[in-house]
Amino acid sequence: MGMQEVERWGIFEVALSGPSAGNPFEEVAVSATFEYRNDRVEVEGFYDGDGIYRVRFMPDREGTWRYVTKSGTSELDGATGSFLCTSPSEGNHGPVRVKDGYLFAFEDGTPYMPFGTTCYHWTHTGSKEHELQTLEELGQSPFNKVRMCLLPTRDMRPEMVAFAGTCPEDADTTRFNPAFFAHLEQRIGDLMKLGVEADLILFHPYDKQGGWGFNSMSREQDFYYLRYVIARLGAYRNVWWSLSNEYDFNKMKTIEDWDRLLQYVQRKDPYQRLRSIHNGTKMYEQSSLYDFSKSWLTHQSIQHWDTSPTTEWREAVRKPIVVDEISYEGNVAKRWGNITGLELIHRYWEGLTKGGFVAHGECFENKPTRAWISSGGKMYGESPERIRFLRQVMEEGPEDWMQAREEGGYALLYLGKYRLSSYKLPLSQDREYRIELIDIWEMTITPLDGTFTGQSDLALPARPYTALRAQAV
């Protein structure tokens, strides 16, 4: 029997039999050291129920890796072995990393632009048919990132939760539910096959008094939960960590608490997945952004109803900006959930042309499936196809479109809601440019006649929601 093979950025797993008496989640620890030449990576394992312990590892270099396990329990200590890390399969570009301050790229250097959406509890429905429908919808969509929750909200009663127990009355935060995580892992793997990043929301503030109590656990319980989650899920290359949704709405925790939890994730994660935290807003009045300059945050995850401050956010902190919630296309009686598709597309274009990334969300009432942001299913809005068009425009351009504008070779300018019949566009005197007029709603690209150089007076059709794309000949 030959050596086991695992592709680069895939998952190698060590499974060991050990004690099942008492509470192995708390009382038994196992880890492994993986070695490649002179490099060593320490990885913590986890208890998976029925006397089985696992250590998962994502190899990032091709060649032979060797490992040895470590545990205070004799059955789990000193197990050794090796495997061969092979070249990655087609479509496997590795995990997403921050690049050049404001950008993202896969580890193999392939550019990555997040065009995300939100489906908070699509894996909590208990319906395989519904989840497969969600995956099918994602596969046909322009979206390559999904924000999703691990923990239920106060009123939810899913078949399984992360901890032992089936209802708030018997929830046991000292034990985990391996079946819940096995199901979640399957869905994270499904997203990986679609090329979709899983932006996992670890905490949220929607579990107030009378609910599950997961938002008011002690610091030690929070650490205990995070350690298990990182050990089980951290090896999946498409995982991001969003420490909390609307962190400031959780009155049980302070900024210092969130700082400690983020630092703990940073310390425990051997792969240094992308990490951020998401703020709440008093819609159209005020927004309390986290201090994204802190070193344990890799990027800015922002909720805001307006993308015009994107330039200000770029100047304040040199990290990628992802406006993960910009209000949702929909018809619910909430200020955050009833903007038109056109308004959402307007905010998308404004944010991207100012150097940030923007995410989608949708919540329609009186449709065959529940609101997309809540549980996935089907999308009914007008924005996804326009977002696909925008993604194509962005991916046709330079990877760093803001730097290209400064250097004078390319410019993407959004004209917004204004009805301009003319526009003065300053271009380099030393180059000739082709200029195109883009209708962001009709999804048309119309070349302007001729070429342009220097200060150019452009005749425009006095229509709102248009953009200009200038490219040096």
pLDDT tens per residue across span 122-165: 999 999 999 999 999 999 999 999 999 999 999 999 999 999 99
CATH of 96-396, one of 3.40.50.300, 3.30.450.20, 3.20.20.80, 3.30.70.20: 3.20.20.80
Q: What is the C-alpha to C-alpha distance for residues 55 and 28, in angstroms, rounded to an integer?
A: 13
Domain 408-472 listed as CATH 1.25.40.10: no
Structure confidence at residue 2 (pLDDT): 74
Total residue count of the chain as it appears in this document: 473
Structure confidence at residue 209 (pLDDT): 67
Mean pLDDT over 182-196 rounds to 98
The yes-or-no verdict on residue 273 having pLDDT over 80 is: yes
The yes-or-no verdict on residue 3 having pLDDT over 90 is: no
Whether the Cβ atoms of residue 458 and residue 448 lie closer than 8 Å to each other: yes
* Banded model confidence at residue 208, pLDDT cuts 50, 70, 90: confident
Residue carrying the six token digits 């070349």: 447
Beta strand spans in 21-171 (E): 30-36, 39-44, 46-47, 52-57, 63-71, 80-86, 96-99, 103-106, 111-112, 116-118, 145-149, 163-164
Amino acid, res. 401: W
What's the mean pLDDT when you consider all of the chain? 97
The yes-or-no verdict on residue 210 having pLDDT over 80 is: no
Buried b / exposed e along 362-381 (16+ C-beta atoms within 10 A): bbbeebebbbbbbbbbbbbb
Q: What is the C-alpha to C-alpha distance for residues 108 and 7, in angstroms, rounded to an integer?
A: 14
Contacts of 291 (CB under 8 A, 6+ apart): none
* Banded model confidence at residue 203, pLDDT cuts 50, 70, 90: very high
pLDDT of 322-378, one tens digit each? 999 999 999 999 999 999 999 999 999 999 999 999 999 999 999 999 999 999 999
State the maximum Cα–Cα separation within the chain, in Å, rounded to a whole number. Answer: 79
Amino acid, res. 173: T
Stretch(es) of the chain classified as CATH 3.20.20.80:
96-396
Stretch(es) of the chain classified as CATH 2.60.40.3950:
408-472
5-86 maps to which CATH number?
2.60.40.10
pLDDT of 381-424, one tens digit each? 999 999 999 999 999 999 999 999 999 999 999 999 999 999 99
Stretch(es) of the chain classified as CATH 2.60.40.10:
5-86
Mean pLDDT over 38-54 rounds to 97
Q: What is the C-alpha to C-alpha distance for residues 101 and 440, in angstroms, rounded to an integer?
A: 28
**SS3 string of 132-149?**
HHHHHHHHCCCCCEEEEE
Q: Residue 434 forms beta bridges with which residues?
A: 471
